[in-house]
Structure 1
Amino acid sequence: MASAQMTGTTEQRTRAQGGTGAPKRGRSRARDWAEIQERMLVPLYEAVYDRLEVGPATSVLGLGCRSGLALLLASARGAQVAGLESEAELRELAHGRRLRVAGAGRPGPAGGDVPRTAHSLVTVFEQLPGAAEPQRVVTEAARLTLTGGHVVLAAWGPPERCESAAVLDVARRRAGRTTARDPFALSAPGGLEDLLGGAGLRPAGSGRVSCPFAYADLDSAVRGLLSTGLYEGAVEYSGQTLVTKELEEALHPYLRPDGSVRMANVFRYVVAEQPR
């Protein structure tokens, strides 16, 4: 019964926002990311910043920074921050936070908005799990890093350590024969490290961070997960209603008596150095 009620709530919101048109859906997804989902990765951001002692002497570039919470946290430590984000709706939210975030075209020198100045720390916190060409993303991160500076790559930890794995599997099952990527493709041992050599980077450490996904209710959980972008192929192939229904069913084991949802997850990061 709860699942049927929450499906109705989500569908009512979709109609109120003007149907399923992509522009309005994009704005809704961006706001759900900023208001619901983005905070789930704060332990990852803080662990990396603590390890690298981010502060006033650090220049941080967030590659695929989305609405910019990670940059805000770095700025609060005194760092100079900037970001690149391809989605206009997310950039708009970042600008509302007074962050300097430019559009990101195709990786490489022809990227248009890609800044030419290098930074002492380039982070790729969210972009890799859904990237069609992870190596190109890492190569671009290396290009924008000062000599002696650092690049940080992050991805999901082992699926057996992530309770969200079954929920994320909805994206794969409902994407049909589209090009939807496995969000755990880089989670195997050496998965992130294998990207470093091709970009001319030198490994300089790694770590795992607990990032539980906690939501006030089932509706918030569905909206937060959909905002990650990992379900876009599934929505386009199978439709919003079916994907929402299957997400609710997959989330049901993680419902608590008070109606909240909580899933234990682990994220992994690697630190690389730009050789002198």
Structure 2
Amino acid sequence: MASAQATGTTAEHALVQDRTEPDGPGPGRARDWAEIQERMLVPLYEAVHDRLEVGPATSVLGLGCRSGLALLLAAGRGAEVAGLEAQPELRQLARERRLRVGAEGRPGGRTTAEQDDVPRTAYSLVTVFEQLPGACDPARVVAEAARLTLAGGHVVLAAWGPPERCESAAVLDVARRRAGRTTARDPFALSAPGGLEDLLLGTGLRPAGSGRVSCPFAYADLDSAVRGLLSTGLYDSAVEFSGRSLVAKELEEILHPYRRPGGAVRMANVFRYVIAERMR
């Protein structure tokens, strides 16, 4: 696909979203996450599942599970799985995968979940794979994860690795630059040494291991790359301030160095995770 053609397609797609989704995420963006972006984190999910030997003896809760791919992979290992997700469009997609996913509480409130959807009150493993980089209050998210973990169970927290190890860092900077004076959280705020570990203080959790995982972001073409990135939620403040079409155009421009022959887009990235044990 030629550059001009790709740019036109993406800009038109973003313009339609400007007109039809002014109040936040809609079904189209949720599907972009499920069909394009979510698979980029499969190496992270699998590394954690391998390390903790997730299987039939494990009960897993995905906190902020989005459309539930990590849970689906855990269920494939025999684990009992459930999730909590605030966005109804993502929650519906997870349920279409036959996952039990309840509604997660908004910031400032406690988790609420329909009893039929989330059968347990505590789990042997609670994962927070996607939520922390864009969270307004990461400490609250971790405290909630601890509350939902059985004594002796584990919580897994994940975030971007060092920005110098992530080719997507320059692309993510569009979110900050196009957000104007609105609040746009730095996705690398927890990437510094000790960033994730500091969130464990006062939660009843103690560090029990950590690791880094290569998670390249690979897309079929420029249009898919832009749609996938916009589906992460990290660009919400930028879109609100500058509009989707302008943010999409700038993403296209900054993604060009990562295009491969044939039009595919690939960026090497590293994610970091911390395992914490719930003390008795």
Deviation at 1:12, TM superposition (A): 3.0
Aligned match for 2:239, one of 235, 244, 250: 235
Any conservation in 1 of the 2:17–2:244 contact (CA below 8 Å)?
Answer: no
* Alignment of structure 1 residues 133-172 onto 2, 5 Å: 133-172=137-176
Deviation at 1:20, TM superposition (A): 3.3
Deviation at 1:240, TM superposition (A): 1.1
Q: Deviations over 1:89-122 (max 9, x none)?
A: 0001001000000011136874332866100000
SS state at 1:196 partner? coil
SS state at 2:191 partner? coil
SS state at 2:252 partner? helix
**Does 2:104 match 1:111?**
no
**Equivalence for 2:187:** 183
Q: Distance in 2 between matches of 1:206 and 1:111?
A: 26
Q: Distance in 2 between matches of 1:155 and 1:16?
A: 31
**Equivalence for 1:50:** 50
Aligned match for 1:122, one of 115, 120, 126: 126
- Equivalent AA in structure 2 for residue 241 of structure 1: S
Deviation at 1:257, TM superposition (A): 1.1
- Equivalent AA in structure 2 for residue 209 of structure 1: V
Q: Distance in 2 between matches of 1:104 and 1:254?
A: 36
Deviation at 1:208, TM superposition (A): 0.2
Deviation at 1:198, TM superposition (A): 2.6
Q: Distance in 2 between matches of 1:236 and 1:109?
A: 24
Q: Distance in 2 between matches of 1:170 and 1:264?
A: 18
* Alignment of structure 1 residues 256-275 onto 2, 5 Å: 256-275=260-279
SS state at 1:192 partner? helix
**Equivalence for 1:97:** 97
Equivalenced residue count is 276
Cα 1:106–1:95 change in 2 (3 A) is same
Deviation at 1:41, TM superposition (A): 0.2
**Does 2:82 match 1:82?**
yes
Deviation at 1:63, TM superposition (A): 0.2
Deviation at 1:125, TM superposition (A): 0.1
Deviation at 1:3, TM superposition (A): 4.3
Task: Provide the TM-score with structure 2 as the length reference.
Answer: 0.94
- Equivalent AA in structure 2 for residue 92 of structure 1: Q
**Equivalence for 2:28:** 28
SS state at 1:208 partner? strand
SS state at 1:146 partner? strand
Cα 1:123–1:108 change in 2 (3 A) is farther
Deviation at 1:21, TM superposition (A): 2.4
Q: Mind listing any 5+ residue stretches in structure 2 that lack a counterpart?
A: none
Q: Distance in 1 between matches of 2:25 and 2:192?
A: 33
**Equivalence for 2:73:** 73
Cα 1:92–1:259 change in 2 (3 A) is same
Deviation at 1:242, TM superposition (A): 1.1
Deviation at 1:19, TM superposition (A): 2.8
Q: Distance in 1 between matches of 2:41 and 2:22?
A: 26
Task: Provide the TM-score with structure 1 as the length reference.
Answer: 0.95
Q: Distance in 1 between matches of 2:143 and 2:14?
A: 38
Q: Distance in 1 between matches of 2:15 and 2:36?
A: 20
Deviation at 1:6, TM superposition (A): 2.2
Q: Deviations over 1:184-206 (max 9, x none)?
A: 00000000000011312000000
Q: Deviations over 1:68-103 (max 9, x none)?
A: 000000000000000000000000100100000001
Any conservation in 2 of the 1:192–1:270 contact (CA below 8 Å)?
Answer: yes
- Equivalent AA in structure 2 for residue 77 of structure 1: R
Runs of 4+ in structure 1 displaced over 2 angstroms?
1-7, 10-25, 106-116
